[in-house]
Amino acid sequence: MILVLMSYHLSRKPISIVKKSNSFLCFLVKDQDNYQTLFGVLDNCFLVAYAIGMFFSGIFGERLPLRYYLSIGMLMSGLFTCLFGLGFYWNIHSLGYYAFVQVMNGLVQTTGWPAVVACVGNWFGKGKRGFIMGVWNSHTSVGNILGSLIAGVFVSTAWGLSFIVPGIIIACTGVLCFFFLVESDQEVGETAPLLRDSSIVDPSINGAVSTEPDVIVEEHSEAISFLGALRIPGVVEFSLCLLFAKLVSYTFLYWLPLYISNVAHFEAKEAGDMSTLFDVGGILGGILAGLVSDYTGGRASTCCVMLVVAAPMLFLYNNIGQRSLGTTIGMLLLCGALVNGPYALITTAVSADLGTHESLKGNARALSTVTAIIDGTGSIGAALGPLLAGVISPTGWNNVFYMLISADVLACLVREQSLSVHSHRINLFLFNANANQLI
């Protein structure tokens, strides 16, 4: 599973490295005064398609064998990633061609997240889920780092290979997935110890971890409906929180190398290498957030604290982050941890908790749809962030950071506001829930 989603992220990273190189700029953009806005549109061809496709991906993921679903998605993603790079060798200068490839790649990349979270959620119990998924979620940052490094090798000479090599990697991983993926412990004819962990998380997603004995419930074979998933307490609130958190994270993902290049005056490869420190911090932040949330039982509280601290750190990074190499490294690590920590926690452990919520009465097939709703809503923010950065950056990088800080504060406020009404919604939902509502 680590290799699967690592390859997904590895294949979507090269655009952020390549778009700041002079070779790609001269190859694709005629009006170089407007290149930031054009690249923002190119980013959003992928991100908007990804956000829209994600809402449908979870529905398909619950109804199709995950092994086939993931394998086909990875092979198609490899194809479109390679097609982007082949434009260099085919001497294609049309922005429309690359926009179309980005749209198609965004759609097929939605096969990854809901299916893989569903697989991991099937294997691990709730008691250690935050820490385990925090470690597992490090694949996203590792994929971003490897994608940056691979793209950086070819960016100044033959930028087409910056896409072709990652495309081949994800396609090969798709073949491995087809032959070796085991969707759940039941497929190997035994019970996985971690799956049957007796520790469970309170349905409020913010209560203390308890050690009640496992309750054996009847497992439903029907897939949950989209509206049924929205009725699960916490899904809407965490989805909105992720929208703003992912806006910040993906703006850094797509624009941080260009920011470092412009402000610190690094070359394309050096700026790309330096930007990987943000992802290294993201690995540490995701693991820390999962560990703390397991120990305290407070997923929401952990997210809020990290979001509150992140806002002033973003301000400081923009103002003092480039004063020295040591300051740059330290601030990138710290900001990466605080920005990606809540994002990682919501998209993994929280999604899995909500997808196996006790109000579902054992319907294990809801996990893929719940994950898709939460990540799909977050992906709307992922699309908005780079687009807004492309529009705002010509007015000055300070304004981009003000936008990011505002989004971070809104993510915290959305989550904080939801805590006051969350318990009431849980009681109301449990009172009214029945099997017909979840079909």
* Residue range 167-176, pLDDT digits in tens: 999 999 999 9
Average pLDDT of the residues of the chain: 79
Please check the confidence at residue 108 and state whether its pLDDT lies above 90: yes
Predicted confidence (pLDDT) per residue in 222-258, tens digit: 666 777 777 777 788 888 988 999 999 989 988 898 8
Structure tokens at 90: 């085919």
Give the per-residue pLDDT at 204: 42
Whether the pTM exceeds 0.85: the reply is: no
Concatenated DSSP letters of 53-121: HHHHHHHHHHHS-HHHHHHHHHHHHHHHHHHHHHHHHTT---HHHHHHHHHHHHHHHTTHHHHHHHHHH
Find which of 88-102, 296-310, 355-369 is predicted with most confidence, using mean pLDDT.
88-102
More confident residue, 423 or 124: 124
Contact 185, 122 (CB under 8 A): yes
| Mean pLDDT (whole number) for 209-228 | 51
Three-state DSSP state, 208 = coil
Q: Tokens 């919501």 label which residue?
A: 346
Predicted confidence (pLDDT) per residue in 136-152, tens digit: 777 788 898 899 899 98
Q: What is the dihedral of CA 313, 319, 320, 322, to 10 degrees?
A: 110
More confident residue, 321 or 104: 104
Find which of 24-33, 101-110, 189-198 is predicted with most confidence, using mean pLDDT.
101-110
Give the per-residue pLDDT at 365: 58
Helices (H), 157-298: 161-180, 226-230, 235-263, 268-296
Structure tokens at 225: 């409906």
How far is residue 262's CA from residue 293's CA, in Å, rounded to a whole number? 38
Structure tokens at 270: 């050096």
AA letter at 378: G
Report the candidate in 10, 143, 112, 47 with the shortest Cα–Cα distance to residue 385: 47
More confident residue, 421 or 312: 312
How far is residue 220's CA from residue 366's CA, in Å, rounded to a whole number? 10
| Mean pLDDT (whole number) for 42-63 | 85
Cα 19 versus chain centre, distance: 21
How far is residue 68's CA from residue 73's CA, in Å, rounded to a whole number? 8
Structure tokens at 235: 């899904």
More confident residue, 93 or 114: 93
Give the per-residue pLDDT at 18: 87
